[in-house]
Structures are given as C-alpha cells and as structure tokens.
C-alpha cells in the first residue's frame, strides 16, 4: 500500500497549477445522460473518482472517448442500455448518486443504489427524493436501491438546507420536466453554478444559478456541447495553506479569489498576504507566527467544510487558540487524533475543536481517514521535525492530481512510496 513521506523543508517558493474541479467534473459527467448527443469536457482532472464514475456511466451504456492524456473526455449517451446504477460501483463514490436526476429526467425511470463515499458522517438523500416526489416521481426504497419513475412536471421545491447534491439532482431532472420548476434555498456553490452553465450550453433554460433561487423551464431535449471544467477551489485552498504552514510564497495558477473568498478572508485575518495576479492567486507568509483565527464551516459562500482540516493544520502553528466549528458533517475531526500524534494541542468537543498553536510539530507515523484529512497531515508534516509518514493515502487519489509532484515543485520534501 502506498504512503507519503514528508520532511520539514523550510519556506516554499514557486507556482502550483490548479487542476479542474473534481466535484464539478463529476456532476457534469452525470449531466451527459440528459442528451443523445455528445458532451465533451475539457480540463478534466485525472483522478480515481473520475475513473470510478466513468465506469458507472459505461455500465449504463455511455460511450467515453479520451483525449489529451485523459484531460478531455467525450461522453455519448446516444443509446442507453440500462437505468440501473449498481451498488458495486455507487458504493465507492457518493457523487454517483447524481445519475438519479438525469436518468429520471431523460428516461422516466431510474434504479440507483444508495451511495457510499468517505466515512465523514451520514449524508442522507432525503432532500433529493422529496424534491423528485414533488415533481411527480414515484419513489420507493427496496433492498438498498432507490426506485424512481414517472413523467416529471414542474413544481416549487424548497430545501430545508441548501444541499449541493439535492440541488443538482433536482435541477438535472427539471431541465427535461414539463413546465417550470422553482428551487428555493438552493445551493450556491461554484460547482452548482458551473453545472447550470453546462446545462445551458446544452440547451437548458435555467435562471438564478449561483443564488438561493433557481428557476428551470423544462425543454423537450438537450443537444451536445463542449464545456471546460472550472478550477478546483478545494485543491487551490489546500495549496494556499501550504505557505501558511511552511512559510514562503506560492502562486496558485488558474485560481481566482471569488472561488475561495471566505478562506482568503480568514487567511488574511491570520496575517497572510494574498494577491490576485494575472495568472492566479499568490499567498505570501510575512514571517513570524500567524494569529489564531476562529472558523465555522457553512454552505457557500461560507467557509468550506472541505478546507476545515487543512485550515486546522495551519492553526496548529498559530499564536493563541482558534476555535473551529463544523456545522456540515459529523465525524469531520478524524484528523485531529493524528495531528495529536505529531504534538499538536487540540481538544475536540462534539462539533467544535479548540486548537492552541505550538512552534513546531514532530514527525510521526499517521493514518489518513478520509480525503481532506489525508492532505492535512501532509501539510502539517511540512513544518514538523523529522519524518512524517502518512499511510493509507489512496484517499488522496480521489481528489488530488500529482500532489507530491506539485509540492516538490515549490521546494517541499515530499515523496510517495509504494510497497509494491
């Protein structure tokens, strides 16, 4: 099994290219089911999650062409052979559940296994199903599979919480429904806005994406399109934290402040300098210790839950005590015990973590528990004495393309090793 070895390496310097957004790409791939004409995606990240969803789409009858070393994918759903998304594939990747809306909207029928994914707490699909029911779908749960069928009609749907997955599933179903669907308390994430932009390029009639109210007017069919995947704001935020820990200056190529504005605000509050450049976003550590900053995760445009672990790693070195409150998922502090093994001063009480900064950490053997926890331990190792060995790093392949290579490019001593 692969592991990543990190040695404290001093200040960082250089540029890191930001890949296409994983979460955006996966939802765009699902959207290919809505048309019998090809959807071509460019700037596709080369990740295991993309490969897993490709496997699922091919099992449904989608033909996939791969160009540019896998960074351009063409999806042709001209002849769907199945509307069954099997457990063996869906369990590996939660985003697979987002084939439900497109299948139902295109064919009037879908059977989709309940999802899997990282072990960071229960993420129920009730909002997805209730939204589809309001559009006229008949929905039942049998042996771990969601069975949905019916001719969809426009409806007014208001989510109790701005769920990203539910917003996207309902939006995809609504583009092929008869009449107008109004989605209230909709997710405002850049990924959701990017999905709407792609659907519009395919001929959908959508207004309000990026706000809390989305209006979708159903159309009879969608056509093909070519669409570029936006930059990955979570990857960008991760690398922005690297100089916050190790010191130095890093420019994230392809990034923009609007994608990570809440992170930028907190980093500047801590004492880091952030500058927009012609090529991306530059983060500079002015020297000395950062100041402790409190963070509460929230739906976009709030602080992303997917950057909480990385920010905690940075706060491990800040002067004072920071309070990190997790409001999106339970079990999202599983990286804290591993940071404690490295000498961090962290106390977790329910959904709140108190982090008191120390000057340095000590290298140790640590275990990755989920995707973002994995990378937080690598970041922490950048300023630890000795050697940090992060085990079970297969999680990283789900969300980071060439992570070790990118960090090496700015001077970090990071190496990926394999027992095989």
- Give the H/E segment covering residue 249: strand 248-253
Cα–Cα distance, 97 to 146 (Å, whole number): 10
Contact 209, 139 (CB under 8 A): no
What is Dmax (Cα atoms) for the chain? 63
Structure-block tokens of residue 417 = 């090793």
Contact 241, 303 (CB under 8 A): no
306 annotated among ligand-binding-site residues: yes
22 annotated among ligand-binding-site residues: yes
**Strand partners of residue 365:** 389
94 annotated among ligand-binding-site residues: yes
Contact 310, 240 (CB under 8 A): no
Helix axes 261-270, 308-315, angle to 10 degrees: 10
Q: Is 198 one of the annotated active-site residues of the chain?
A: no
**Strand partners of residue 274:** 283
Q: Which residue has tokens 């070519």?
A: 226
Neighbours of 32 (CB within 10 A): 27
405 annotated among ligand-binding-site residues: no
Interior CA angle at 237 toward 396 and 257, to 5°? Answer: 150
23 annotated among ligand-binding-site residues: yes
- Residues 30, 118, 264, 316: which is the catalytic one? 118
Structure-block tokens of residue 88 = 């063996």
Alpha-carbon torsion angle 176, 179, 180, 181, nearest 10 = -60
Cα–Cα distance, 376 to 255 (Å, whole number): 20
Active-site residue set: 118
Binding-site residues for phosphoenolpyruvate sit at: 22-23
Binding-site residues sit at: 22-23, 94, 306, 328
Binding-site residues for UDP-N-acetyl-alpha-D-glucosamine sit at: 94, 306, 328
């Amino acid at each position: 099994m692969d592991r990543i070895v990190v040695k404290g390496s001093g200040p960082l310097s250089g540029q890191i290219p930001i890949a296409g957004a994983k979460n955006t790409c996966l939802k765009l791939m699902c959207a290919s089911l809505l048309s019998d004409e090809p959807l071509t995606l460019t700037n596709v990240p080369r990740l295991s999650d993309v490969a897993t969803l490709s496997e699922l789409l091919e099992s449904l009858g989608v033909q996939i062409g791969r160009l540019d070393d896998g960074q351009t994918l063409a999806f042709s759903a001209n002849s769907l052979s199945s509307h069954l998304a099997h457990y063996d594939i869906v369990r590996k990747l939660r985003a697979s559940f987002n084939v439900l809306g497109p299948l139902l909207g295109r064919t009037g029928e879908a059977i989709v296994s309940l999802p899997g994914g990282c072990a960071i707490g229960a993420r129920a699909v009730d909002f997805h199903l209730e939204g589809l029911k309001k559009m006229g779908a008949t929905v039942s749960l049998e042996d771990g599979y969601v069975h949905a069928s019916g001719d969809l009609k426009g409806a007014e749907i208001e989510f109790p919480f701005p769920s990203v997955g539910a917003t996207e599933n309902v939006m995809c179903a609504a583009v092929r429904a008869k009449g107008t669907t109004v989605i209230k308390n909709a997710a405002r994430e850049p990924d959701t806005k990017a999905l709407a932009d792609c659907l519009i390029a395919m001929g959908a009639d959508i207004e309000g994406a990026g706000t809390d109210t989305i209006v979708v007017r159903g159309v009879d069919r969608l056509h093909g399109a070519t669409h570029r995947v936006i930059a990955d704001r979570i990857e960008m935020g991760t690398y922005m934290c690297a100089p916050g820990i190790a010191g130095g200056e890093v420019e994230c190529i392809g990034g923009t402040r609007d994608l990570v504005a809440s992170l930028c605000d907190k980093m500047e509050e801590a004492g880091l300098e952030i500058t927009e450049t012609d090529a991306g976003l530059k983060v500079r550590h002015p020297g000395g210790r950062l100041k402790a900053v409190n963070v509460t995760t929230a739906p976009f445009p709030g602080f992303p839950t997917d950057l909480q672990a990385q920010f905690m790693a940075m706060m491990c070195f800040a002067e004072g005590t920071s309070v990190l409150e997790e409001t999106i998922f339970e079990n999202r502090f599983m990286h804290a015990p591993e940071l404690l093994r490295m000498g961090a001063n962290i106390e977790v009480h329910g959904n709140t973590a108190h982090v008191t900064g120390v000057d340095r950490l000590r290298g140790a053997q640590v275990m990755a528990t989920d995707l973002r926890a994995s990378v937080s331990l690598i970041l922490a190792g950048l300023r630890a004495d000795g050697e940090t060995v992060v085990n079970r790093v297969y999680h990283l392949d789900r969300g980071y393309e060439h992570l070790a290579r990118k960090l090496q490019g700015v001077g970090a001593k990071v190496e990926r090793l394999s027992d095989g």
